[in-house]
Each structure stands twice: as C-alpha cells, then as structure tokens.
Amino acid sequence: MATTLRSKNAEMSFRVGETIGPYKIVAQIGQGGMATIFKAYQTNLDRYVALKVMHPALKEDHSFVMRLQREATVIAKLSHPNIVAVHDFREYEGIPFLVLQYIEGKTLKDVLKTQKLNTQQILNIVRPVAEALSYAHARGVLHRDVKPSNILIDNEGHVYLSDFGLARITQSGESTASQDMMIGSPHYLSPEQAKSEPVDVRTDVYSLGVVLYEMFVGRVPFMAETTYATILAQINDPPPPPRSLNPRVPPAVEQVILKALAKNPNDRYPTVRDMMRALENAVRGPREVDEPAAPIPLIEYKPSPDLVTPSPQPRAATPPATSSKAPARPTQKSRAWLPLAIAFVVLVALLACLGLGVLALIPGLGSTPTPIIVTITTPTRAGLIPIPTATRPLILPPVPSLTRAISPTPVITLRGKIAYTVATGNNPDQRTIYIADADGTDARPIIEFGLWPSLSPDGKQIAYYRIREEGIYIANSDGSAAHRIVTGETCCAQWSPDGKRLMYLQGKLKLGDTRVVIINPDGTGKTEVVGGFSPAWAPDGQRIVYTACQPGTTQCGLHIFDLRANRATMITRDDGKTPHWSPRGDKIVYHADSGQGATNLFIVNPDGSGRTQVTFGKGNTGQAVWSLDGNSIFFRSDQDGKAWGIFVMRADGSGRRLLINNVPPDGDLWARELLSVGP
C-alpha cells in the first residue's frame, strides 16, 4: 500500500506550492500535449526559473524521454540573447524535466489576441527572432516549430525564441522529435514538413513567413475545419494575398511575405537573414498606401527633406576580422581624391620651401604616426562572445585618412570625466557605475546597483537610478553621500545646464508609458512636462529633445518641447532614441535603425534639417554624448558583435578611437541609457 501511494504521489509532485529539489513551484504558466510549464523559485541561486515537466503518463515512453534530453542538449549549445536558455536537465521521482530561463512577460500569441501591431512594432519583434534563427542555423540547428506561442516578449520588450522541441541537427540529421512523429503546428509548418520530406533552413523561413503574415493581416493564411484539411492547404493552396484581407499592408511587404510562403523551397529566401533584409527594405521603401496619422494636441510636425535615409557616404571598406581597428583601405571612390591629394602635397612642399611652415599646421602629415595606446581596465560580461582581456596596453595602429591632408583637423583633445554603466553579471541588479578620465584612463567603479548616471555641470555630483531601493539618487562624484530624491519606477535622470534642476522619466517603463518630469535637486517642485522617453536638455535650458510616437500610427521619432511655449515639434520620423544636444545648441546626435538590423549614430539640426549618418557599423552603436567643447562625440558600440567598448570620434564621424574595451551595458536597456560627461 505504501509503495502504491508513493507512486501516485510521484505523479502529483509537480504542483503549485511543492518543492522539487532546489525549486519551489509558484505557478503553472503553460500546458501542452506533452509537457506542463511551471514557474519556480530556485532558492540556492535566488532566481526564478521555468520547469518544463513531461506529463507523468509519458514517463514510460523511453523515446520521448530521450527527446526531452536531446532538446536540452541542443539548446544548451545555443548561447544567444534572443534564445531562451537551458539551465539544466533533471529527473524527479522518475519524471524528467528541463530547467529553463524564466521570462516574465507574454507570448506573441497572447499579444496578437489583444492588440493590432503597427509596422515598427512588427519589425521590433521579428528582427530578434530572425537573429535567433540565423544564429541557430549557423550552428546547424533548425527550429521547425516557429509560431507565436514560441515567441516570448518580456516586460522590457526583449524578444526570445523558445521551445526547440522539434529541432533538427542538420549535419547529422538527428532530431529532438521522437521518430519525427511530431512535425509541428499545422497552421505554421512548411509544405515539406507536412509531406515528411527533407528540410533545411528554408523550412524556418516559411514558418516565420506565416507568423509575419499573421502579424500584418490578423490571421494565418490557412484556416480549415480540421487539422488534416489545414495540412493539405499548406501543401496545395496558394495563400490569400495579404492585401486582399488588409489593404493597408504595403505592397512591397506583401511581396516579401508571399516569397517567404512559396511552396517550393527554392522559390523562398535562401536564409532568414535574407528575408529580414528584404522586409527592412520593403518597410523603408516607397509606399503606395500611407497609414493615416491621428491628430495630436500640441504636436506640430515640421517635414524635412532630410528625413529619408541619407545618400551613401564615402567610407572605408570593412577591416579584416583579425583586428577591429585595422587601418582602413581606400575604396574606389576615395581613390578619386588621389590626384588632388598629390597636388596638395606638392603645394605644401613648395610653401614649406618659402618658410611658411605649413607642415607644422597639419598633425601627422609627412611624419610617422604614433600608435594609439589604450589600457583595458574594466571587466568582461559573462555570456558575450569571449574577447581576450589584455593584461598590458593594447597598441592600435593609427587610422590613415586621405581627407586629413586636404582638410587639416586638430588632434582630438579630451578633457573632463566620463560616467557609464557596466553589467558585471547576468542578474538584473549586477550593474555598476564607473567613472573615468575622458581619455579612457583611470576607470574605477563608484556606485553598485546603479544605472543611467548623469554628472552635474560642475562635476561635483552624480544623479543616477538605483536598482535596489529603487528611485533617483544624488551622490558626490566619488559615489559617497548618496541620498534618494525620487521613489518608484523611474529612470534616466539628466541635470539641467545650470545644475539647478533635474529631468527624469516616470511611469510604466516596461510598457513604454512614461512622462518627462522636472524636479529640483532637493526633491521639491515636481512638474510633469510631456509624454515620451530619452529626454535631454538644450544648452539654453528652455527646450528639451526627446523621443515619442504619435498615438495610433507608426510615426515615431525625435521631438523638441519648448518649456516656455509649452509646445512640441516633431523633427524626425526614424524612431530615433537617446538624443543629446551639442554644447552650442546647433546639433543633436542620436541613434536610430540604419537598416539590416544595425543601429547607428545620426546628427540632425534642431529644426529637423541636415540629417546625416556618422557611423556605419553592422551591430549596435548608441548612447552618444558630445564632449564638453563640442568637437567630439563619445559613444558605446558592440563593435559589430565582438565586444562592447566606449569610443570617441570627431563630430564629423572621423577619427574613431577606442577608449575603454569590454564594458557591456545593460543587455535589455542599453538603448535607453546615455553616457555622461562632466568637468
């Protein structure tokens, strides 16, 4: 009797309130035909995890147990910020289960039930899914079950791809599915999956195309009364054109979706990355149908001829992978300057003979350049692609530039201090604020559990957000004498130019529902200004620049709010973020999507004219701030996915130089943060 009772209790062990080893189950969050998902608290590591528990009725199915274990093995080898991580594979009283990264948020399926997404929101969701799939494909892993319920969106808006339960290892042909009996979800599986034919990366292209169709149209392309009829439709029927169901779908986007849904894999995009690139181009290209903009009180849009993507700039070819700072080779276009450069050098030589000393006015011309020495002093975040941390100064070769001989430019002279955040671990509170000299030397930690630092104009104080006992704090610039002036869900404090006021965001940060607030440094005089995020002061202290979207439309970008006139003006429509005003007040630097999944820096005039792209990376570049003299721009970049570093460049984008290497920002919130400079 005791043995029988223990057997029954074993099947009921995974219940809310029960403790399984170090995991205390707190909630059931999902259930499928083969497994149940629980939220659990891992006591020994003080974190929440998700337990994917096989149904007790299947525990005798040895092939299914092996499938679950193979799933753990497959995902554990995939380390990517947009793939749900596997922590462990365990068995409790005969019942196997996976221990997964817990994501606090919703599935895309839940989101699509309650709201219609605009084009920018769709891009923001599909792009990281495509990156996750591309990463898996490059390592020989096919997902084979891409669908909205397997796409998770956390409360910060970070997107994850989950459930590799049907994954296939392309090189070996091994599958995590038992004898390939489970072929995927009928509404999202590819025709070749439905026919049990060999598959490759294009099967995930098809499934992602179905997800894209559903996001734009509001329903899946094939809806039949039975599962069998749905599968037959996937094999034989052409999908209804998206515009026949939703005329607001741009024609170019429709073409991308239909190509992804081609029955023959040879007619689809060869890779997910190619599909994503085509989608980005379709969204940013000319549209025959514009989504109407709803009227916004107090918002005046000033159209600018420079709002479109700038014309291509002459730039250096991609440097060799062996060095992120290798000298750039002149492109074909740059060689057109060669005759002019030679003529100029001859002219300079003649003038030198006359005793005019022109060479002395052009640093580096006619002499051997001095290598740039950068000392690496800060930690490397776990989970990034390993980059060897130098134990000695890293000597970087100088970057030659033909335009330097034509347009003499002073050597960058850096003064003052720079403050920034470093992610020192994977836990959300493992964030430390550092301060360094503006040339990157003497970097040292000053505040633990801090984010979004802002140095005061006199350099004596620092405002920041504290993760523990959350709120806005002010401390001395060495981190001492910290005291809280604002409580609650806040972020992104910025000192006014005269140091007499602070501006910050308050509201539901995870939902993007925030308002710009101005307050005195002692916590008094709180005034709400306008809805938006990423605010920054103008040098005159009477205007702010910030990011906002027009409700009900896809039009998002930079706005300028005049505090005296109580009026906002929209100056860009490129979804730009973290703007920062130049000390002279004539330019604004910010980051925005530059296409193909890259984020780069742009400069624009305060009236919206003269928009110019000044960085051309293939990864993430942002957090830009002007130097105190306005001649340079500091920024943070992931160096095309290699490792995060802090750089400086001239205001025209030339002379890029690495100051501090291996300084990862908050992984989810990096795009909200600015660097900070002070005297």
Q: In terms of DSSP H, where are the helices of 354-417?
A: 402-406
Query: DSSP characters for 266-296?
Result: GGS-SSHHHHHHHHHHHHHS--SSPPPPPP-
Domain parsing of the chain, residue ranges: 10-101, 105-289
Write the CA distances from 281 to 135, 285, 373, integer angstroms.
Answer: 21, 6, 40
The stretch 157-163 carries a mean pLDDT of: 88
The reported pLDDT for the residue numbered 360 is 35
Q: 75-89, 98-112, 387-401, 632-646: which has the minimum mean pLDDT?
A: 387-401
The reported pLDDT for the residue numbered 664 is 84
* Residue 641 in tokens: 């996915």
The domain 105-289 is placed in CATH, from the list 1.10.510.10, 2.160.10.10, 3.40.50.2300, 3.40.50.300, at 1.10.510.10
Which listed residue (46, 110, 145, 638) is catalytic? 145
The reported pLDDT for the residue numbered 89 is 82
Q: Which among 421, 414, 416 is positioned nearest to 674, based on CA atoms?
A: 421
> Which one has a higher pLDDT value, 593 or 328?
593
Q: Give the whole-angstrom CA distance, residue 152 versus residue 92.
A: 27
The reported pLDDT for the residue numbered 8 is 40
The stretch 38-57 carries a mean pLDDT of: 87
Classify domain 10-101 at the CATH topology level. Answer: Phosphorylase Kinase; domain 1 (3.30.200)
Confidence bin at 607 (pLDDT 50/70/90):
very high
Confidence bin at 3 (pLDDT 50/70/90):
very low
The reported pLDDT for the residue numbered 420 is 93
Count of Cβ atoms closer than 10 Å to residue 347 Cβ: 11
Q: Which among 476, 490, 489 is positioned nearest to 447, based on CA atoms?
A: 476
- 55 pLDDT higher than 60: yes
Q: Give the whole-angstrom CA distance, residue 411 versus residue 101.
A: 48
pLDDT tens for 626-670 read 999 999 999 999 887 777 889 999 999 998 988 988 888 876 667
End-to-end CA distance of the chain: 78
Confidence bin at 145 (pLDDT 50/70/90):
confident
Q: 31-40, 98-107, 353-362, 655-664: which has the minimum mean pLDDT?
A: 353-362
Q: Give the whole-angstrom CA distance, residue 559 versus residue 490.
A: 21
Rounded to the nearest integer, the mean pLDDT of the chain is 76
* Residue 366 in tokens: 């006619």
The reported pLDDT for the residue numbered 568 is 92
- 315 pLDDT higher than 80: no
Exposure class string for 542-563: b at 16+ Cβ within 10 A, else e: ebbbbbbbbeebbbbbbbbbeb
Q: What is the 3-class SS of 527-594, one letter each residue?
A: EEEEECEEEEECCCCCEEEEEEECCCCCCEEEEEEECCCCEEEECCCCCCEEEEECCCCCCEEEEEEE
What pTM, to 2 d.p., does this model score? 0.45
Confidence bin at 59 (pLDDT 50/70/90):
low
Q: Give the whole-angstrom CA distance, residue 14 versus residue 605.
A: 60
> Which one has a higher pLDDT value, 109 or 306?
109
* Residue 339 in tokens: 């005759």
- 328 pLDDT higher than 80: no
Strand pairing of 431-437 and 417-423?
Answer: antiparallel
The reported pLDDT for the residue numbered 170 is 43
- 406 pLDDT higher than 90: no
- 346 pLDDT higher than 60: no
The reported pLDDT for the residue numbered 164 is 73
Is 640 designated active site? no
- 330 pLDDT higher than 60: no
- 572 pLDDT higher than 50: yes
> Which one has a higher pLDDT value, 406 or 261?
261
The stretch 342-347 carries a mean pLDDT of: 43
In this structure, the dihedral spanned by the alpha carbons of residues 443, 445, 451 and 455, taken in order and rounded to 10 degrees, is: -60
> Which one has a higher pLDDT value, 301 or 637?
637
Q: In terms of DSSP H, where are the helices of 77-200?
A: 108-114, 119-138, 191-194
- 512 pLDDT higher than 70: no
